[in-house]
Amino acid sequence: MNKIEKNTQVYFYNKISDLLKEARKSIVRTVNRTMVYTYFEIGRMIVEEEQNGKERAEYGKHLLEELSKRLKSEFGKGFSVDNLENMRKFYTAYSISETASRKLDMLDFQLGWSHYLKLIRIEDKAERKFYEIEATQNNWSLRELRRQCDSALYQRLALSKDKSAVKELSEKGQIIEKPKDALKDPYVLEFVGFPENKIYSETELEQKLIDKLEHFLLELGKGYAFIARQNRITIDEKHFRIDLVFYNRILKSFVLIDLKIGELRHQDIGQLQMYVNYYDRFVKLEEENKTIGIILCQDKSETLVEITLPEDNEQIFASKYQTVLPSKEDLKQLIENKE
């Protein structure tokens, strides 16, 4: 067998292998989706049966215990009382209303059962819908979904939006049309492993972000690709280094990130503005949009940022970061006070 024939056979094998792998994925998706629909229907039947026996206070408890015993004997594990209770909660959370049952042909469950077990624990319907949309659109794993929920992504995005935009989050997910849409304040970097009061340098923080790049990209959000760290630029024979450079495919823009320990100074903003101007004039292509600059700092004065930047600014932004998970209650309080 000559080299050409061998390469042809390898190519042929790879095509069949790819087809089988995709078929397996499709089968798994179909099985998972069927299971979710089935659990929803079981939940509906449990709720309706409980309502029929509602005059007896202990009816629901005995119903689940007896049902669990019979299902486990015929179908094996997976039908414990707790799991049946989750199916009941699943139906309750995703039915159209308390008085009208949701028909199966009106459902569009795209996630796995484990994802929905996490989602049904979210009491706020708007928040739950937001995470469901984002998890579906971005193909979040269960681990990624948990991380975004635990880091209060919904509340952090809502902080920078008015009432109509917050409502849109729950209906469409995060829509990115302009640079500000892609920002968070604060950014949560709990994955770097720094305790709240730990003293560290900008270099140490940068290294941790690179070490946990997958986590950092998840926190940055949609469309980000890593380009460089400590990117050197030269102006009049003087060398400067940009901490982190990314590219956002949705915005079609370079995104420069400068890390600052402590409180933000106006000099920091000026420095980032220089980096952004350099990229706009010497790096970005004509068909690409203007470069975005983000300063991640531990503290900032909103007044200082506002006065330092031009009124029509859409390129330079300053956001706080924290290395511990935020309190959802504190963020909700901030949203309520803002309104």
Residue partners of 52: CB distance under 8 A and separation at least 6: none
Q: How far is residue 326's CA from residue 328's CA, in Å, rounded to a whole number?
A: 6
pLDDT-derived band of residue 98, with 50, 70 and 90 as boundaries?
very low
Q: What's the whole-number mean pLDDT along residues 287-301?
A: 96
Q: How far is residue 178's CA from residue 315's CA, in Å, rounded to a whole number?
A: 10
Residue among 256, 245, 258 at smallest CA distance from 205 = 258
pLDDT-derived band of residue 231, with 50, 70 and 90 as boundaries?
very high
Percent of the chain topping pLDDT 70: 90
Domain ranges of the chain: 3-117, 174-329
Residue 152, judged by CB atoms within 10 A of its CB (0-12, 13-18, 19+), counts as: buried
pLDDT in tens, 70-81: 999 888 888 999
Q: Quick one: three-class SS letters along the chain?
A: CCHHHHHHHHHHHHHHHHHHHHHHHHHHHHHHHHHHHHHHHHHHHHHHHHHHCCCCCCHHHHHHHHHHHHHHHHHCCCCCHHHHHHHHHHHHHHCCCCCCCCCHHHCCCCCCHHHHHHHCCCCCHHHHHHHHHHHHHCCCCHHHHHHHHHCCHHHHHHCCCCHHHHHHHHHHCCCCCCHHHHCCCCEECHHHCCCCCCCCCHHHHHHHHHHCHHHHHHHHCCCEEEEEEEEEEEECCEEEEEEEEEEECCCCEEEEEEEEEEECCHHHHHHHHHHHHHHHHHCCCCCCCCCEEEEEEEECCHHHHHHHCCCCCCCEEEEEEECCCCCHHHHHHHHHHHC
pTM for this structure?
0.82
Class of domain 174-329: alpha beta
pLDDT in tens, 16-61: 788 888 888 778 778 888 999 999 999 999 988 887 755 554 666 7
pLDDT in tens, 153-203: 999 998 878 778 888 898 899 999 999 999 998 999 999 999 877 899 999
Residue among 40, 173, 26, 25 at smallest CA distance from 113 = 40
Q: Which residue has the tokens 């484990």?
A: 114
User: 81-94 vs 59-75: helix axis angle to the nearest 10?
Assistant: 110
Terminal-residue alpha carbon distance, the chain: 74
